[in-house]
Amino acid sequence: MQEKPNVIIILADDIGYGDLGCNGEQTIRTPHVDRLAHTGLRFTDAHAVAATSTPSRYSLLTDQYAWRRNDTSIATGDAGMIIRPGQATLATLFKEHGYTTGAVGKWHLGLGDTAGSQDWNGWITPGPSAIGFDYSYIMAATGDRVPCVYVENQRVVNLDPADPIAVSYTTPFPGEPLGKDHPELPTVLKPSPDHGHADAIVNGVSRIGYMKGGKQALWQDENIADSITTKAVQFIEQHAGSPFFLYFATNDIHVPRVPHLRFKGATTMGARGDAIIEFDWSIGQIVETLERLGIAGNTLIIVTSDNGPVVDDGYADQAVELLGAHRPWGDFRGGKYSIFEAGTRVPFIVTWPEKIKAGVSDALFSQIDLYASLACLLNTQPATGAAPDSRNHLPALLGNDRKGRDYVIEQATGLSVSDGEWKYIAPNHGAAYNSLTNTELGNSPVD
Ligand code: NG6
Ligand code: CA
């Protein structure tokens, strides 16, 4: 009988607190996530560290606040690896304790030594293996940034050597049409006015950045959830006999939202709503796999999100027009990019059937504490210098402490600190409002 639990972190992209049925929204049905919420512990006051992906993921994996560095803002698709080789991460923690470790899905933490230096046609290094992951199957950045290919164990999947890939974020490739010059060519999704997303056109969708070649390796947008879920399921199947740690970062529900046809019309909210249902399906596949293999009872699953919700994030997918009564941000103000509460207050559900009792926890919790808390679960402490900002809140994570942290620090353009009742937002000169996404950002230059 395996004593150590398997650990799976399922990190959604841009799913807001209110986007899940279990958080009180009557406008959407997410049965697989809701089942986890009802059999496990559902947090009402848990936070991502930042209101956008790269700093949030950096902080979650290293458990060092991203704002301690000045190079952790939203990464391009050719960014160098932001977490440096040898830096402690959740993956190194688990690996040191005998786990097999895997990263599947959205990466958005850079690859290679420096920006633009990656060999997309060879071995891309450093990559996830340099920070503790035994296995990786990732999208380099986001769905809306080139290169639009999967990278498995640091090599582009399905690459035809006769059609090498080139990527640039500075210089277009002659002969490759761009969305900004050919607005008629993106036939699957058009960018929203003024949002950008008007560079390389891949699969009828114009993206950010320039790309050439690699035609055979291109992902199909409607198959991304299927592809990465299949890889996550295979990883679980292959390692079911000994402890594993899986970081499963979904592409749903980031833009461009192109859910598989079988989810079309699953909601009345168009692609954004349907992508939430696709996300929920992915969760169902993971849970069903664990149950089929008889390891569900001793697997700790965390379902959470990298930042708060956004409705129009750059493509004319009718998310605004079809939103109806749905409130992705729940009762909170702001959203993705915002220092107000909805920027980082995210869904957070923890299940471990053999150890965690069903319930709802109002404990103040931050993703920054995962390292120290999970280290405690492994009967160890962070090594000197590892996860410097992480504190052990394992009792809160397991439902034995309903208070949690004294405060959380949140990051958007600037910083805020909240004790769960009051919140201080440090004055800063960032814009007060993002008119593209229609988000109150919470920035103000005065106290
Ligand atoms: C923004 C993009 C947005 C999204 C975001 C990253 C524009 C105007 N907007 O810059 O579409 O890609 O970056 O999202 O380009 S995140 O969830 O990965 O942080
Ligand atoms: Ca995100």
| pLDDT tens series, the chain, 447 aa | 578 999 999 999 999 999 999 998 889 999 999 999 999 999 999 999 999 999 999 999 999 999 999 999 999 999 999 999 999 999 999 999 999 999 999 999 999 999 999 999 999 999 999 999 999 999 999 999 999 999 999 999 999 999 999 999 999 999 999 999 999 999 999 999 888 999 999 999 999 999 999 999 999 999 999 999 999 999 999 999 999 999 999 999 999 999 999 999 999 999 999 999 999 999 999 999 999 999 999 999 999 999 999 999 999 999 999 999 999 999 999 999 999 999 999 999 999 999 999 999 999 999 999 999 999 999 999 999 999 999 999 999 999 999 999 999 999 999 999 999 999 999 999 999 999 999 999 999 987
Instruction: Provide the residue type at 186 as one letter.
Output: P
The two three-digit tokens of residue 178, written as one number = 């761009």
Q: Is 73 in the pocket of ligand 1 (CB under 6 A)?
A: no
The two three-digit tokens of residue 293, written as one number = 């293999």
Q: What is the pLDDT of residue 3?
A: 85
Compute, in angstroms, the gap from residue 308 CA to the centroid of ligand 1. Answer: 13
Compute, in angstroms, the gap from residue 65 CA to the centroid of ligand 1. Answer: 20
> ω before 147 within 30° of 0 (cis)?
yes
- CB-based contacts of 106, cutoff 8 Å, min separation 6: 11, 13, 53, 138, 139, 141, 142, 143, 249, 250, 251, 254
Atom 8 (ligand 1) nearest CA: 195
- CB-based contacts of 134, cutoff 8 Å, min separation 6: 95, 100, 101, 102
Q: What is the pLDDT of residue 424?
A: 97
CA atoms within 13 A on the CB side of 118: 30
Cα–Cα distance, 91 to 368 (Å, whole number): 14
Compute, in angstroms, the gap from residue 313 CA to the centroid of ligand 1. Answer: 7
Mutational test site, ligand 1, from 208, 312, 439, max ligand atoms within 8 Å of CB: 208
Compute, in angstroms, the gap from residue 97 CA to the centroid of ligand 1. Answer: 36
Atom 13 (ligand 1) nearest CA: 74
Compute, in angstroms, the gap from residue 426 CA to the centroid of ligand 1. Answer: 24
Q: Is 14 in the pocket of ligand 1 (CB under 6 A)?
A: yes
pTM value > 0.75? yes
Q: What is the pLDDT of residue 1?
A: 55
Cα–Cα distance, 167 to 172 (Å, whole number): 9
Give Dmax over CA atoms of the chain in angstroms: 61
Cα dihedral across residues 299, 420, 360, 349: positive or negative: negative
Mutational test site, ligand 1, from 54, 142, 439, max ligand atoms within 8 Å of CB: 142
Taking the CA of 313 as reference, the closest ligand is: 1
Q: Is 52 in the pocket of ligand 1 (CB under 6 A)?
A: yes
Mutational test site, ligand 1, from 82, 180, 313, max ligand atoms within 8 Å of CB: 313
Q: Is 312 in the pocket of ligand 1 (CB under 6 A)?
A: no
Contacts of residues 319-325 at CB distance under 8 Å and 24 or more positions apart, as own/partner, are 319/257, 319/269, 319/270, 319/271, 319/272, 320/438, 321/270, 322/268, 322/269, 322/270, 322/272, 322/273, 323/269, 323/272, 324/27, 324/268, 324/269, 325/27
Q: Is 156 in the pocket of ligand 1 (CB under 6 A)?
A: no
At 46 the three-state DSSP class reads: strand
Cα–Cα distance, 319 to 275 (Å, whole number): 11
**How wide is the angle at C-alpha 279 spanned by C-alphas 58 and 225, nearest 5°?**
85
Compute, in angstroms, the gap from residue 162 CA to the centroid of ligand 2. Answer: 34
Taking the CA of 193 as reference, the closest ligand is: 1
Taking the CA of 257 as reference, the closest ligand is: 1
Dihedral over alpha carbons 162, 165, 170, 172 (to 10 degrees): 50
Cα–Cα distance, 24 to 39 (Å, whole number): 16
Compute, in angstroms, the gap from residue 23 CA to the centroid of ligand 2. Answer: 19
Q: Which atom of ligand 1 is nearest to the CA of 306?
A: 17
Q: Is 252 in the pocket of ligand 1 (CB under 6 A)?
A: no
Q: Is 254 in the pocket of ligand 1 (CB under 6 A)?
A: yes
Q: Is 313 in the pocket of ligand 1 (CB under 6 A)?
A: yes
Atom 17 (ligand 1) nearest CA: 53
**How wide is the angle at C-alpha 58 spanned by C-alphas 53 and 59, nearest 5°?**
100
Compute, in angstroms, the gap from residue 338 CA to the centroid of ligand 1. Answer: 13
Compute, in angstroms, the gap from residue 15 CA to the centroid of ligand 1. Answer: 14
Compute, in angstroms, the gap from residue 105 CA to the centroid of ligand 2. Answer: 13
